[in-house]
Amino acid sequence: MDKQTKDPAYARPATRKLIQDLLREGRQVLSLLADLIKLNLHNVDERVRNTLDEFLSILVDYIAAGHFGLYQRLAEGTERRQPVVEAAREIYPRIAAITDGAVGFSERYESAPPQLLNDHLAQDLSRLAENLSNRIELEDVLIIAMLGEVPGTASAA
């Protein structure tokens, strides 16, 4: 394998852009999630509703950045780098399941009535936060592979 294939500095520009977009969206999701968790979720007011609406918008963007950016190439079978294909094969089913849960959360709370918000938002948001944390960890594995760094071998070059 030549240096360009192994060195993250030589990662494809399109790959780097997809990764940067996904990381930016992920940071925004986590920031808004933290803002939302700090609010009184058992007595939803306009501030909670506005923050939730903003969070749902960014959540959908984050999901789309991963699904239509990073994962689409893998799903279409156009990725040729074996470490990336192997990492994706191992983790993509778990990412897909978390994505389905996040889409369900978004649909449930997009126009949720106040009673649903007051009764279930805190618990559902807690579960979503845990799942998003897991998704980010899984994405890190895939990103490392896409940048040409295989865990445990980065210092072996």
CA 153 – CA 157 distance, rounded (Å): 7
Average pLDDT value over all residues in the chain: 84
Residue-wise pLDDT for 30-89, tens only, equals 999 999 999 999 999 999 999 999 999 999 989 888 877 777 777 777 778 888 888 888
Short-list 62, 74, 87, CA closest to 148: 87
Q: Give the position of tokens 């007011």.
A: 45
Strand (E) or helix (H) holding 53: helix 46-64
Q: Which domains does the chain have, with CATH numbers?
A: 12-148 (1.20.120.1370)
Q: What is the pTM of this model?
A: 0.80
Bigger pLDDT: 13 or 32? 32
